Amino acid sequence: MRKEKDSLGEIEVESDKLWGASTQRNLQNFTIGKEKIPMDIIYSFSIVKKAAAIANCKLNLLSKEKKDLIVSACDEILDKKYDDHFPLLIWQTGSGTPTHMNVNEVISNIAALKSKKPLGSKNPLHPNDDVNMAQSTNDTFPSAIHIAAYKRVKNTLLPALDDLKKGFDDKVFEFKDIIKVGRTHTMDAVPMTLGQEFSAFSAFIAEAIVNIKFSLQKFLKIPLGATAVGTGVNTHKDYQKIAIEEISKITNEKFSVSDNLFQALSSSEALCHMSSSLKNLSVSLFKIANDITLLASGPRCAIGEITLPPNEPGSSIMPGKINPAQCESVKLVAMQVMANDNMISMANASGNFQLNVLRTVKIYNLLQSIELISDVSKTFLDHCLKGIKPNLQRIKQNLDQNLMLATPLMKTIGYDKASKIVFEAHSKNKTLKEAALELNMMDEKTFDEIVNPKKMLGPYG
């Protein structure tokens, strides 16, 4: 063990750990749950620290030697060499101050190691005076959040959704000529193709991608340089511009300063916007999974118009049973994302005056939502969607029995007479043709010409 010291006094830290007194106090005082601060946040903090050091050096506020030490330490953190030295949970000070200090302390001690100085000596880098120069948790944490969320959505979520949409598009083409029963209110309706049904699923994903891309742009605005309450106190007048330019260079993205720094510290509108887009996508995913589950239901005693690839035995007691497991996992993810959105909304509404102090749970839930949707999109595509097959025999059987095929008769004999045919066929278990002929509504040739499912797939004329 070694002794570290801060404004509250001395505290013991394990001798091989690179964090300092602030981190150790948080570890001891907040032993709540197991949900750690995501490493994406730590890596994004390192980007912020690196950019800040370069900016301060360019402004002659930080020596080149100290700048180089900070940059080197940040690069090594980004290379995942020190993941074990960021142990804090999300259940901490909601502004993220302990995590921010965790990053400052680790960078300071990496520099101490390289300079062959004792850990905790704050030599040659002081965690506050040097690593944290011109910075506050209140502007660096929301900036790191935006960087982390932007990278995760762009690099993971959007590619997964693009692949999922293509998977649905492939099924639209594959199923384009398969005519089946349409359903409204879960009841039989006029015919459509299986391809048309799957085109709705593709459109849900396409619209979600558009919405997510729009929300994504909001993360490119960051409040770095706002410091404590948005005024930029303790920063050089050119620091903000230079630091954000450096972040853009490091990430190869076009970051810029938030439109209003006071708003950016007191709220997290970009997180709420993205979370809302993910929630809306989850509503669509739940609907898609539910429809596919019902279309595959049976296999003999329900709709059974499609078959799903078996992933696992479905029952511990019923031999041979196969369940729509992938669809159920999609629904589970969708519900979790909806719940996360509610949590994010409540946390964002709880900011008081110049600072929102519930940020740790907001970014944790948002990154979880991004990860869950990314993962479930891939697994559903690979282990369900690609393997969906039409049950042509069942589709034809259901279509032939569909009483709503009488709908085009309205144009010839009117709604009332067409209804009479339907009720006659249903009550006496006859076909529509049998009922129409027995009621002397029309001859067989006329019926066959009008009641043709292929002519019912779009407008006439």
Report d(CA 330, CA 377) in Å as an integer: 8
Listed residue (460, 393, 445, 456) closest to 188, CA to CA: 456
Q: Please state whether 319 falls in left (phi above 0), alpha (psi between -120 and 50) or beta.
A: beta
Report d(CA 220, CA 95) in Å as an integer: 20
What pLDDT, on the 0 to 100 scale, is given for residue 311? 84
User: Is residue 370 within 8 Å of residue 278, measured between CB atoms?
Assistant: yes
As a three-state string, the secondary structure of 249-269 is HHHCCCCEECCCHHHHHHCCH
Element (H, E) at 189: strand 187-193
Residues across the chain: 461
pLDDT in 10s for each residue of the chain, 461 residues? 999 988 899 999 999 999 999 999 999 999 999 999 999 999 999 999 999 999 999 999 999 999 999 999 999 999 999 999 999 999 999 999 999 999 999 999 999 999 999 999 999 999 999 999 999 999 999 999 999 999 999 999 999 999 999 999 999 999 999 999 999 999 999 999 999 999 999 999 999 999 999 999 999 999 999 999 999 999 999 999 999 999 999 999 999 999 999 999 999 999 999 999 999 999 999 999 999 999 999 989 999 999 999 888 877 788 888 899 999 999 999 999 999 999 999 999 998 999 999 999 999 999 999 999 999 999 999 999 999 999 999 999 999 999 999 999 999 999 999 999 999 999 999 999 999 999 999 999 999 999 999 999 999 86
CB within 8 Å of 443: residues ≥ 6 apart? 437
Expressed in angstroms, the distance from the first to the final Cα of the chain is 86
**Domains located in the chain, CATH noted:** 2-133 (1.10.275.10), 148-221+259-392 (1.20.200.10), 402-456 (1.10.40.30)
Q: Which two tokens stand for residue 397?
A: 């059987």
Catalytic positions, please?
185, 315
Listed residue (128, 134, 151) closest to 52, CA to CA: 134
What pLDDT, on the 0 to 100 scale, is given for residue 397? 96
What pLDDT, on the 0 to 100 scale, is given for residue 317? 84
Residue by residue, DSSP assigns 30-75 as ----S-BPPHHHHHHHHHHHHHHHHHHHHTTSS-HHHHHHHHHHHH
What pLDDT, on the 0 to 100 scale, is given for residue 57? 99
pTM score of the predicted model: 0.95
| Calculated CA dihedral for residues 333, 338, 340, 346, nearest 10 degrees | -170
